[in-house]
Amino acid sequence: MDDCKICTDDGYKINREGYTLCKQHYEEVEDVFKQKENKKKGDIMDTTITEVYQDYIKGGMSEEKAAKICLGVQTMGFFDAIEEPMRTDMVQDFISKQKSK
């Protein structure tokens, strides 16, 4: 099986969009899809990344980890390829924007 599309770990499963992902990223991305499916409004999905982030925080996840997952989903995995210190800046910027909403 191919390596994970988001990181360099060994592939675990192919997700519903046809990407090979490691176990961690498969579960994280699948969780986002499940949250979207659970919040359908008619035929239009109305879940925003802000709602997903807030759900993670309410569930006890740290702001930093929730931000990294959300940024990974938003950027379709490119976030994990970004080097420091830009990654840290992006996480802090994302958290700041979420707090201002």
**Cα 70 from chain centre:** 3
Q: What is the mean pLDDT of the chain?
A: 84
Q: What is the pLDDT of residue 41?
A: 54
pLDDT of 43-84, one tens digit each?
555 678 888 899 899 989 999 999 998 998 888 778 877 888
3-state class (DSSP) for residue 60? coil
Retrieve residue 91's tokens.
Answer: 């996480």
As a whole number, mean pLDDT of residues 32-39 equals 75
Burial class (CB in 10 A: 0-12, 13-18, 19+), 63: middle
Decide: 13 and 21 in contact? Cβ < 8 Å: yes
Going through 1-101 in order, the beta strands assigned E by DSSP cover 13-14, 20-21, 40-41, 44-45
Decide: 51 and 40 in contact? Cβ < 8 Å: no
